[in-house]
Amino acid sequence: MRKIINPSQEQWAELVKRPAKNLEELEAGILETFKQVRERGDAALLELAKKYDGVQLEQLLVTQEEITAAEASLTVELKEAILQAYSNIQVFHTHQAEPMHQIETMPGVTCWRKSVAIEKVGLYIPGGTAPLFSTLLMLGVPARIAGCRELVLCTPPSKDGTVHPAILYTASLLGVTRVVKAGGAQAIAAMAYGTQSVPAVYKIFGPGNQYVTVAKQLVSKAGVAIDLPAGPSEVLVIADESANPAFVAADLLSQAEHGPDSQVVLLTNSEVFLDRVEAELEAQLAVLPREDFASKALGNSLGLVFDSIAEMLDFSNLYAPEHLILSILNFEEALDSIVNAGSVFLGNYSPESAGDYASGTNHTLPTNGYARAYSGVSLDSFVKKITFQHITPEGLQNIGGTIETMAAAEGLEAHKNAVSIRLKEVNRV
């Protein structure tokens, strides 16, 4: 980790920058993929699976036989773990539903707002070096609670043409019957534009590599909604000398192992503690199966020493981390100071892994500083909020003059007349 002691505030803007990528260079190739999928549909998806995934598929859709076989192949322990995570995620997201309230803003003028599910959503689940069936839970559970009518799942096949059994088992739990063996930008194109096997959807969710990220950004320009701007995973840990260096190192590595472009940041008020964490990082890294990924990610990462917790919180808010861990004494006193973060983990016994898998909160979160303005995925992500209003004749008499005055001031006579013509009718009665 790059270590800096008491960085000046003039340095902060540079320190919060993520590792840069020139994603624009990828656009030309992705747009060509889009063109092929739009023009040739399933045939293009099959051809691109052979080109990019190295597999010759007979068909794109997963069969019921494959789903049944997948369930039989999983251990009882894993199925029970998935069911427990499913339950916790469902409990947390169910309580996000907002009751509908009718509000009379003035006599005779009633307004309300109703949550309506997005009818068709697409879920993209990576299946390469880490088959993220946990992400399928994070997306599929709130989609089902919201009442989305159609869920389409795209995930890349392995070299033998199969989909990871845990992904298929989780899809079955969620009632997702259309599982498509397609990955990368071509999967995003299929869900955005539709093919013979893949219906076009209204909103696309899910993480992916840089090709998937750019593909989602491009379809969002074409009118298909996406969940949020996503990028490499990241965590920022604020720790004082009450923290356990082994725990902190484990939390940093849990994000570093996602990939070489991940970033982990440690803020502490003790240089001695930072040195102890670095020793733990070295020891734990040596035994990780994904040591190569994690090691490269640590090369993008920072260890910063500040004089106070307040300074660390200020830096964290500027950084706006996807995951924020507070391993400090009296963390409760810091909560009101947190304004920019995707998800926050409190105390020495709240590992970020809990949120990734099973505590109940959603792990699909804004990265790359987008937590300054974006929230993570929630039940709200799968619904639209439609407003309604009803105005009685009495209500129109009460509010009509206000509308007429404002419309006239803007020079919009037709707006004014839409009220005036009604008032004449009401006043004649």
Q: Which residues are annotated as a binding site?
A: 124, 186, 209, 233, 255, 258, 323, 356, 410, 415
Nearest of 122, 101, 116, 144 to residue 384 by alpha carbon: 116
Measured between alpha carbons, how far apart are the two ends of the chain, in Å? Answer: 79
Concerning whether 322 is annotated as a catalytic residue, the answer is yes
Q: Is 237 helix (H, G, I), strand (E, B) or coil?
A: strand
132 CB contacts (<8 Å, ≥6 apart)? 125, 126, 207
Instruction: Tell me how far apart the alpha carbons of residues 122 and 235 are, in angstroms, rounded to a whole number.
Output: 27
Amino acid 218 reads L
Concerning whether 234 is annotated as a catalytic residue, the answer is no
Nearest of 339, 342, 340, 344 to residue 238 by alpha carbon: 344
Neighbours of 394 (CB within 10 A): 13
Instruction: Tell me how far apart the alpha carbons of residues 108 and 137 are, in angstroms, rounded to a whole number.
Output: 45
Contact 249, 284 (CB under 8 A): yes
Question: 323, 333, 390, 394: which one is catalytic?
Answer: 323
Question: What is the DSSP annotation of 130-185?
Answer: S--HHHHHHHHHHHHHHT-SEEEEEE---TTS---HHHHHHHHHHT--EEEE--HH
C-alpha to C-alpha distances, 194 to 30, 58, 140, 163, 186, nearest whole angstrom:
16, 19, 20, 21, 11
Q: Tell me the two tokens of residue 285.
A: 């890294």
Contact 320, 369 (CB under 8 A): yes
Q: Residues comprising the binding site for substrate?
A: 233, 255, 258, 323, 356, 410, 415
Q: Where are the alpha helices (DSSP H) in 244-371?
A: 245-256, 271-285, 291-298, 309-319, 352-357
Instruction: Tell me how far apart the alpha carbons of residues 246 and 327 are, in angstroms, rounded to a whole number.
Output: 12
Q: Residues comprising the binding site for Zn(2+)?
A: 255, 258, 356, 415
Question: 234, 280, 322, 352: which one is catalytic?
Answer: 322
Neighbours of 421 (CB within 10 A): 9
Q: Is 197 helix (H, G, I), strand (E, B) or coil?
A: coil
* Dihedral sign, Cα of residue 361, residue 364, residue 366, residue 367: positive
Q: Residues comprising the binding site for NAD(+)?
A: 124, 186, 209
Amino acid 243 reads A
Q: Angle CA(85)–CA(91)–CA(95) in degrees, nearest 5?
A: 145
Write out the catalytic residue numbers. Answer: 322-323
